[in-house]
Amino acid sequence: MSGLGKLVQKDSVETDRVEAGCQTLTFLIPVFCWYIMNNDMNVTYILLDGYVEMSKYKYVYFLIMFSAYILIICSNLTIVYLIWVNKNLHEPMYVFIAALLVNCVFYSTATYPKLLIDFLSEKQKITYQACLLQFYFFYFVGPAEFFLLAAMSYDRYVSICRPLLYPTIMTNTTVTVFLVFSWFIPACHASIPLIMLSSTKVKLCNFNIKGVFCNNAIYTLQCAMPRSLAIFGVFAILDVVILPILFILFSYTKIMIISYRSCKEVRKKAAETCLPHLLVLFSLTLLSVYDICIVRVESGISKPARLIMTLQIVLYHPLFNPFIYGFKMKEIYKHLKQFFWRVKMVLTKNPQQF
């Protein structure tokens, strides 16, 4: 076998670690953890070959990404906290925003811990089983954002175009159903390729991913991609990306038409509440297109450029969302200023404690 092919090793210690990790995750994905624990004892290592100048800049990479991760966690959860504690924000639109920001935290947590470990490691590698697990979470949580944005667009449509029916339509039950399906459908979609890739019939001929985490670059590891997996990939893009985008655009087009025919107050309300959602949709769509296309571009992109663009997927968008909703949504911005004012007062009165 080649040097990369020799990465297939028997390592009982690593297997024990996989089993221990799975035991803590069984409440989330029991079926997939069962597979990992009951797979054969061979541990297949995959090299993550998307890093650049690690010997020179690994501490710089670590500091930047660690700071970004802390900022993502704090900024997203701060707005979630404000929505939770302020009763006047207990409305469907703000509930969906809170769900979207929690989704951003999950999305970042699927990639950042492994990235931070790799920055400080001599070799950037991952077991094939762990790679599959990261792949699952990445394509479970990521597409869920499209469904949450679709739920927001429907909420805005009913609020602006059917205001008298809004309390009847957008009940707590409706909101709960939307939230459940926003996560349930992507979870089911992501599980299908995971099961296919976990099959013993799938043979690996490549043990090198041109990236820094396990996204759809994992498909390049197979000797030949199963035809059923390729067909499902097209169906998944249509079902979890294109259809939600079309629904969102249709909803906001109807809102724009109604707003144009209405008074100035209606147009102002539509602009204030819909613009942040459209900005987030635009950002998410661009990054999704890049994620889909980058794996299919084998040449023409330098390694540093590929690294920078790949990091944009996990860096830019989770930071973009809380700032858009924090500064563009009037009610959230008001509570955010009050929150920082209270924090400032606490720090001023008790400086010795900090």
Going by pLDDT thresholds of 50, 70 and 90, the confidence category of residue 322 is confident
Least confident of 29-38, 62-71, 105-114: 29-38
Expressed in percent and rounded to 5, the helix, strand and coil fractions of the chain are 80, 5, 15
pLDDT for res 195? 87
User: In angstroms, how far is the first alpha carbon of the chain from the final one?
Assistant: 58
Section 238-263 average pLDDT: 87
What is the C-alpha to C-alpha distance for residues 252 and 135, in angstroms, rounded to an integer?
Answer: 32
pLDDT for res 200? 63
Token pair of 274 as six digits: 């819909």
Kind of pairing between the strands at 125-127 and 8-10: unpaired
In the predicted model, what is the mean pLDDT of the chain?
80
Residue 151, pLDDT > 90, answer: yes
Token pair of 6 as six digits: 């020799």
Q: What percentage of the chain exceeds 90 in pLDDT?
A: 26
Residue 45 phi/psi, 5-degree rounding, is: -100, 140
Q: Which residue has the tokens 């995971």?
A: 194
In sequence order, the β-bridge partners of residue 48 are 209
Strands (E), the chain: 8-10, 42-48, 125-127, 208-209
pLDDT for res 299? 55
